[in-house]
Structure 1
């Protein structure tokens, strides 16, 4: 690990069971495609809980289970002192179920991640709530685990991050706990936060408008570590806006190009970015050379008045179809996000969207 953080030195031995809950079935899970892909059982590895597993004291025993691959068993719960879970709103029923099973086994439970960070009131029965990103709250939670083990507190404890750990000090996610061939895509995070303020998006509120960054060296180490656990064939940059800091991406891409060349182009890359990336030809040239094949763009709607109303004027900087065609010319498939139900929608909006898609 780089930077100034001194790893916590525990006084007691602990067994930590990290469980990532299964997703409720939806179009976005792509579960119907898995039987076509052999060993694939889930969409992407659980980046957040893999990071937490890597952050825990090295002397502690950690068992990580992604319930999208296989369910945790009674034996897993019996083995543990503490059960940690994380997830999004769509996983709320499964999070509550994990908490109930853990309590039935007499275990202390802790919950972090985006769902609880935005709506802690959803989880009144979890023993410890971790609100916010990795940071001082995580250190306090680990110290509590060390002190109390499985002992449950008399009332719910809330640890809220006030000092976030810089991304440049993040450990490499604990890929040794997963088999990458079980996943449709690999995932990697380079930055956190987005400079834009799209009205419907919670990213600036949760993670800030000034993107925080990992170093290129961290990214290369994560890629090497990921591939040591199996090659998923494609790796998705989960940054909410890959070009949130263009200078940083411009510095990263030559490292990715060199890594691909040195390793024989073992993976395709994908990312999500604002549509105005189409106005950065030098960036697109480097992305093509680094083997970026897919880019997700939040197009949202072809109606200019709607884009203006939701503060997404960056999509108006050039004609949308021209931007898509530009990305296609650089060899990148464009996957688009489309939203229906804006306040500015009219009875004709649906037909206009369909025509735009055609």
Structure 2
């Protein structure tokens, strides 16, 4: 029986895609694709509230992204997402709502969620969390009309705010988490800020994510691979000028114990039957001894389970650790090289030895593990030659996946202070342009955005699609098909993707599916916005895929 005194808390994550309702043609080369990953942050918040305040609060978690995956078929439809979000907010009885958005540029969806909350539940407190209020704390209240916003790490801050709003005294929580900071609030018509000065030092005090509150089983059942997210650390010991991870996690890095991480792996494997774990650490390998303990623990368990991580710092990798990663069943490696210029490496304070980066790449390459490389171009101090050096390195390495991003100077980073000091910005950056696909308007730089966008997108199209390295080995066709098919629903206008899937079907002997995808691509190319974004690649006549598609047409 539910305790009537409990306060009902709804935590909701808004759609992680552009809110294009009512918009006409868009530049498809810069449109954010739908990212329906499970909301790890909300799962942690729910677990924290259940662990330290289960007698005071009844928590409900709704993620519009995974809800859409479970309940909808076909391509992404913003109108359907909007109706889903309205239904969740209007139909859920709650006393306090927390609205989360991972990305700064999801302002439109956050504004819509706050509007719905105030419309259907007037007077109920609204708390914001995620990337948007972390980067723009005061502005997030001004632009949305919310009552509170959390800056950065949120577990202890959220519970502290809930207790403040509800008049709850929680001695156990207050003893363990006595210093709370990092939030903004309204009072008497004014916005007040409590800066973020503290973090949770002992990460083992945070319970495992409450996936049960999310009811993830339906979502996992619709995935090709039963994968859950996790983290083993928060923050990063380095301070690259462009990186804003310290805004969320504070300076430096904090680690969960290896034992705690392995206990969670045991739990997820036993409770949810997962087949893959994706660790979202900024720098999972920063502590070699701890990392090797985790790897040895995975080897000893020998589960039917693979794993991957969002980022490994190249400087922290060596032969010993890499050799342990292979028998521990690592499924994919992501390396953030960022720049192919040693001079730029120094200027952005990354200081990566590019020879070491290539050595590490070749070590992973020999094990035939899919490698994802991240690069950035468009630093304001970069020359055209230095930008080209990055593109040349990306092409020379030719990873299984390559991401070439446009530099964004996030407020709160050293890079942002640099561009202000050197007058490289002549306007405030628009919120919707806080995206690695879009130009932010640098001026007084030795390059131009038109050429930069061409370099970025052409390289992405070449290395990820029409010249992908997995096309050279028939044994790699199945994993390449799985990767490309996984993009289909979130990139319904990507004509080159459909061309490539068709070509790969042909190489695998499925001519009917080849023709189906070629016909889909031909139909897409008749649309003006599709042709504007992808039509020029039909002029790459020396490419076998393009030539085969044009012969079909």
TM-score normalized with structure 2 length? 0.54
Q: Is the 8 A contact 2:286 2:316 kept in 1?
A: no
For the Cα contact (< 8 Å) 2:199–2:250, is it kept in 1? no
Whole-Å Cα distance in 2 between the matches of residues 49 and 157 of structure 1? 25
- Whole-angstrom distance in 2 between the partners of 1:215 and 1:253: 13
Shift of 1:126: 1.0
Alpha-carbon spacing, 1:270–1:117, altered in 2? closer, same or farther (3 Å): closer
Distance 1:101 1:225, change over 3 A: farther
1:188 positional shift: 0.6
Superposed displacement of residue 350, structure 1: 4.9
Q: 1:199 and 1:22 mapped to 2: Cα distance?
A: 29
Q: Distance in 2 between matches of 1:48 and 1:286?
A: 29
Alpha-carbon distance, 1:306 to partner: 0.9
Flag structure 2 segments of 5+ consecutive residues without an equivalent: 19-28, 68-83, 169-185, 396-553
Is the 2:309–2:332 Cα contact (8 Å) retained in structure 1?
yes
Rounded to whole Å, the distance in 2 between the matches of 1:84 and 1:17 is 6
Q: How does 1:114-263 map to 2 (within 5 A)?
A: 114-124=131-141, 125-134=145-154, 136-147=156-167, 155=189, 161-165=196-200, 166-176=202-212, 177-179=214-216, 180-181=219-220, 185-227=227-269, 230-231=272-273, 233-259=275-301, 261=302, 263=303
Write the distance in 1 (CA, Å) between the matches of 2:42 and 2:267. Answer: 16
Q: 1:127 to 1:158 in 2, by over 3 A?
A: farther
Instruction: Find the counterpart in structure 2 of residue 39 from structure 1.
Output: none
What CA distance in whole angstroms lies between the structure 2 residues aligned with 1:223 and 1:355? 39
Larger radius of gyration: 2
Aligned to 2:314: 275
**Cα distance change of structure 1 residues 322 and 196 upon mapping to structure 2, 3 Å threshold:** same
Indicate the RMSD between aligned Cα atoms, in angstroms: 2.9
Match of 2:47 in 1: 54
Q: Is the 8 A contact 1:29 1:43 kept in 2?
A: no
Cα distance in 1 between the residues matched to 2:308 and 2:30: 22
- Tell me the equivalent position of 2:433: none
The answer to whether the Cα contact below 8 Å between 2:12 and 2:64 also exists between their aligned partners in 1 is yes
CA distance in 1 between counterparts of 2:269 and 2:192 reads 38
**Could you tell me how far apart the structure 1 residues matched to 2:367 and 2:246 are?**
29
After superposition, where does 1:269-308 map in structure 2 within 5 Å? 269-278=308-317, 280-308=318-346
Deviates more, 1:199-208 or 1:91-100: 199-208
Aligned length: 331
Equivalent residues of 1:14, 1:61 under 8 A apart: yes
Secondary structure of the structure 2 residue equivalent to 1:239? coil
Give the counterpart of 2:62 among 61, 65, 71.
65
Greater helix proportion? 2
Relative distance call for 1:139 and 1:66 in structure 2 (3 A) is closer
Asked if 1:355 corresponds to 2:392, the answer is: yes
1:79 corresponding residue in structure 2:
93
Point out the more displaced range, 219-228 or 284-293.
Answer: 219-228
CA distance in 2, matches of 1:51, 1:205: 19
153 and 16 in structure 1: CA distance in 2 versus 1, 3 angstrom threshold: farther
1:225/1:146 CA distance change after superposition, 3 Å: farther
Is 1:175–1:229's contact at 8 Å kept on the other side of the alignment?
Answer: no
Partner of 2:485: none
Q: Name the TM-score, length of structure 1 as normaliser.
A: 0.81
Q: Select between 212-221 and 122-131 the one with higher mean Cα deviation.
A: 212-221
Deviations 1:110-156 (A, max 9, x none): 112232122113312111112232465334212124339xxx97545
- In the TM superposition, residue 98 of structure 1 has moved relative to its aligned partner by 1.1
Residues 336 and 291 of structure 1: is their aligned pair in 2 closer, same or farther, counting only changes over 3 Å?
A: same
Partner of 1:95: 110
Q: Aligned partners of 1:137, 1:143: CA distance in 2, in Å? A: 10
